[in-house]
Structure 1
């Protein structure tokens, strides 16, 4: 199996290093050279933390065509706001039989990506899929050095169209045994835990982040009992929207047990007990991917799906509005709206079908 990692940030370097350590032929692509300059020269990635070791990938490059040529599995490890852009950049170079997995897709990522390729006129026999979340909690600690704080027990993943789940399963079962195939992308999209944990925690800690440049532990110090109540309200709304489409998705509390084997009386206690989150610092600014990615590409589409079935999402809508005011942007307009996803005016049943078979 030849694998290409698209994105040389925290997650991309961690995933490239781990898959190389597992014995796979790995290439690494990043748009700019600066972040991967050391890896380009040495081909070496040093892993620290939960998975450690020094490993070597086949090559790193800023040439996307070179990076994906002859590679069966393309793992996109980029913020969700870059999914459409990278789909259009990949479109001219894709080859029959390639499998593209968004790590993660956030909400409706595979649909946005799949639709972009169709609009470009791609007629190759490819498979597009999305993971529910990213496999690791990781941070770059130096050039070519990445620390993995924790590894999830399991990550749901689904293909679009869902009939390609068999192809997906055959490709990933040895490469990424942590991945678990679920029926369709409705399951992965509504199980978006980043939407619950990230945006509100940043906004409610904005003063602390801006006064210390994020010099505190994000999950341990930043999520107090009162902040956890807001996260719980967001989670309740997310689950209510999923239920309106006939899905019984895991709550955030259930997911922490599923992914990290952590249990608690409530969300606050479970987050405090999660060893995988220990040592993870807060972002240094509120202008970061926890807002730029998780508001428009997670909270906005969840709110939009709620409109289809008449489920109100007042807490989610408040966080969207607050983020827009604090960053001076219209995240509702920028985000994955029903119109942008080709779902405007569709019935709940039509939306369910499109999320399963595509447009």
Structure 2
């Protein structure tokens, strides 16, 4: 099978190398040449950590048409704030039968991506899907070198609409059996665990980040018992919004057991018991995807759905407001909202019908 990985950050390079290790024909695309220049020349990616070795991709390119031409599976591994741009770049070159998976979609990723393709006039028969989280805990140490701290046991994924799930499963789960097909994108979008762990932890550790350039372990030192209590409250609000769709959410503590086989009497203990987080350092600055991605593409849409359908998200809103002040931004305007996703005025039943049945 021919696979393209779109995005050559730490996740994209790790995934491209891993898929090459498994024997697939892998192409790697990045918007700028800087990160992939060494890979363009060498066709080589080195993986360290849970997986070790140096593996060859077929080619690396900054040309989207070249990157996806004739490729069955397109794995998009870019920050969610880049999904719109990637959709527009990809739209003219998509082919019937291709599968595009957002790794991950964050909250509303597949909805946004499909909406952009429609706005661009794309009429190709393409499956758009989103994963609930990224398959690896990984970091890039150098261009062409990625460290995989841990491969998650399972990652939920679904197509939009869910009627395409059997086609998605036939292709995707043969590539990586860790992917678990779930009922619909409500499960992947609102079981967004990164939104629980990332933005609030970074905001609450802002002084430490700015004075040490992130020289501390993000999960083990950045999440103290009191910080974990705030994360639990964010998780509770996320779950309450998800329950609007008459589904049982997975709590962050349950997800740690699902993805990493760890348990604890509370969220703090479960995080401390996850050796997969050992050695992962904090970002060196607040100007990082934990805020720039997770605020507008995760917290804001969860709050927006809560506001639209009468569920209060006071803790989530507080984190967004603090970030607005600290970053001199207005994430309320930048982020995905019910209106931006084309769902304003629709009932919960209308939304469920759209994600499950309509194409």
- TM-score, normalised by the number of residues in structure 2: 0.99
2:87 corresponds to which residue?
A: 87
1:149 corresponds to which residue?
A: 149
The runs of at least 4 aligned residues of structure 1 exceeding 6 Å deviation read: none
1:307 Cα shift?
Answer: 2.0
Pair 1:5-2:5 in alignment? yes
Superimposed CA distance per residue, residues 84-117 of structure 1 (whole angstroms, 9 cap, x where no aligned partner): 1110110000011100000000001000000110
C-alpha distance in 1, partners of 2:355/2:241? 15
Equivalent residues in 2 for 1:146-295 (5 A)?
146-295=146-295
SS at match of 1:221: helix
Range moving further from structure 2, 299-308 or 218-227: 299-308
SS at match of 2:148: strand
C-alpha distance in 1, partners of 2:305/2:260? 28
SS at match of 1:32: coil
Contact 1:186 1:356 in 2 (8 A): no
Contact 1:214 1:283 in 2 (8 A): yes
Contact 1:46 1:52 in 2 (8 A): yes
C-alpha distance in 1, partners of 2:282/2:265? 25
SS at match of 1:157: strand
1:318 corresponds to which residue?
A: 318
C-alpha distance in 2, partners of 1:312/1:170? 39
2:356 corresponds to which residue?
A: 356
RMSD, matched Cα: 0.9
1:358 Cα shift?
Answer: 5.4
Count matched residues: 359
Superimposed CA distance per residue, residues 156-211 of structure 1 (whole angstroms, 9 cap, x where no aligned partner): 00000111101100111211110000011011011000110000000000000000
SS at match of 1:130: strand
1:34 Cα shift?
Answer: 1.0
C-alpha distance in 2, partners of 1:101/1:2? 14
Contact 1:5 1:27 in 2 (8 A): yes
C-alpha distance in 2, partners of 1:262/1:358? 38
Equivalent residues in 2 for 1:66-145 (5 A)?
66-145=66-145
1:143 Cα shift?
Answer: 2.5
SS at match of 1:60: strand
